[in-house]
Amino acid sequence: MNEDKSQLGTQPVGRLLVKMAAPAVVAQLINMLYNLVDRIYIGHIPGEGAYALTGMGVCMPVIMIVSAFAMLAGAGGAPRASIAMGRGDNRSAEQALGNCFCLLLIVSAVLTGVLLVFNRPILMAFGATENTIGYATAYMDIYALGTVFVQLTLGMNSFIIAQGFSKTAMLSVLIGAVCNIVLDPIFIFGFSMGVRGAALATVLSQAVSCAWVVSFLLGKRTIWRIRPRNMILRPAVILPCVALGLATFIMQASESVISVCFNTSLREYGGDLAVGAMTILTSVMQFALLPLQGLGQGAQPIVSFNYGAGNADRVKKAYFLLLRTSLTYSVVLWAFLMLFPQTFAGVFTSDQELIAFAVPAIRCYCAVLLVFGAQIACQMTFTSLGYAKASIAVAVTRKFVLLVPLIYLMPRLFPADKTMAVYMAEPVADALAVTFTVILFSFQFRKALRQIGAPKEQAS
């Protein structure tokens, strides 16, 4: 048995989670830098940084949708492949990989066409104004051409992580991030391309990452290899992957819907300044979401493999360690945001008016972040166990049942400051969502442990 494969069922859980999660967290931190560096540079363009940052913020819902489709295949196919590997069925794992690769190619072609033809009306609907639409379309015209690179990099990297090659997955992100950081100032300032330069740097960087990921999955080191015979879409293979990935897709795509709801509502009550502050808030939230998702990705192969192998004790220990670690991180980050909001805002803009507006918005928007680690830990463990319906339920509840209505309800409940009331919708929804998720997970997790037998005495 391959060492990277067998260690998932034999190494002590604590040591294994550190080994698996550390590169995944680093990869997500690098990915965060990858996503934020464009905004940091654009926000500091002399004379037009505030409008340019707001214009790019309007593009974020579109970028989130592109990423969501990548995770529909990656976050759904990779756990299915891990569970199959835990059962000793690598043939099924490779079929999941090949079908998901094919699906990503098809989705990329469709998305590219839609974005190139309809980007302006989409961006106007997503909150752009006459002041910002020029910056938004300039960025999106170029970004759309790199859709296939984004899809394959994000989607296929999940299959590298699921095999236990977390360091290789980290390098996939690191290579692209370094390219982006180097190319951004060259194109934005050196060639005076502005937001177009930021988009071009992103596309070229993603192309390099894509080449790295695909070449690995075609090479000799991988356990599962992309093979032409597995790239014919088969309903029995692809539909279970899509069903499981649907929760992550909804979570990612709903971020896009939520961003549109926030942008349009804030545009009505606070204008471009409020929308610009929302761009900063979305960026700040990535400091929470991406590292927490990295922890969950590190735990996913451990939970999925041992669930497939019928190892209840290791599944239980991996989850509780993930929960403690996630909560610790979210509490520490929350404390920093409450104490130093101006520092975080200043990273993204040098416009003093925008910084002053963003400071109270950060404290309001992130007020319940300290318990958000529980939400992510439970939701990602649902996915690792293959519990598609439960994972979809918590994703839909947080975003569509709670947050969307609250964005429009809160300004009516607190009319004295309607703009801040819009921001307040986030912490109210998060408090309710975490409560629902933890209660549902406590029942479903016990059910999962009963299904695979009583906990076994294992070294851990």
Instruction: Say what percent of the chain tops pLDDT 90.
Output: 44
- pLDDT, residue 454, reads 45
Please report the sign of the dihedral spanned by the C-alpha atoms of residue 385, residue 386, residue 392, residue 395: positive
Q: How many CB atoms are located within 10 Å of the residue 397 CB?
A: 17
Query: Is residue 2 predicted with pLDDT exceeding 60?
Result: no
Q: What are phi and psi of 248, to 5 degrees?
A: -65, -40
Q: How far apart are CA 123 and CA 126, in angstroms?
A: 5
Buried b (16+ CB within 10 A) or exposed e, 261-278: bbbebbbeebebbbbbbb
Task: Give tens-digit pLDDT for 389-426.
Answer: 888 788 788 888 999 999 999 999 999 999 999 999 99
Task: Give tens-digit pLDDT for 288-306.
Answer: 787 888 888 888 888 888 8
DSSP characters for 176-217?
Answer: HHHHHHHHHHIIIIIS--THHHHHHHHHHHHHHHHHHHHHHH
The answer to the question of residue 5 being in a domain is: no
The answer to the question of residue 284 being in a domain is: yes
DSSP state of 340: -
- pLDDT, residue 30, reads 73
Q: How many domains does the chain have?
A: 1
**What is the mean pLDDT of the segment spanning 367-382?**
91
The answer to the question of residue 2 being in a domain is: no
**Least confident residue range of 37-41, 96-100, 308-312:** 37-41
Please report the sign of the dihedral spanned by the C-alpha atoms of residue 139, residue 142, residue 147, residue 149: negative
The answer to the question of residue 177 being in a domain is: yes
The answer to the question of residue 236 being in a domain is: yes
Q: What average pLDDT does the structure give for the chain?
A: 87
The answer to the question of residue 140 being in a domain is: yes
Q: What is the CA 262 to chain-centroid distance, rounded? A: 19
**What is the mean pLDDT of the segment spanning 57-86?**
87
Q: How far apart are CA 151 and CA 219, in angstroms?
A: 20
- pTM of the predicted model, to two decimals? 0.69
Task: Give tens-digit pLDDT for 189-199.
Answer: 888 888 899 89
Q: How far apart are CA 9 and CA 386, in angstroms?
A: 18
The answer to the question of residue 30 being in a domain is: yes
The answer to the question of residue 367 being in a domain is: yes
**Least confident residue range of 152-156, 236-240, 307-311:** 307-311
Domain that holds residue 317: 11-451
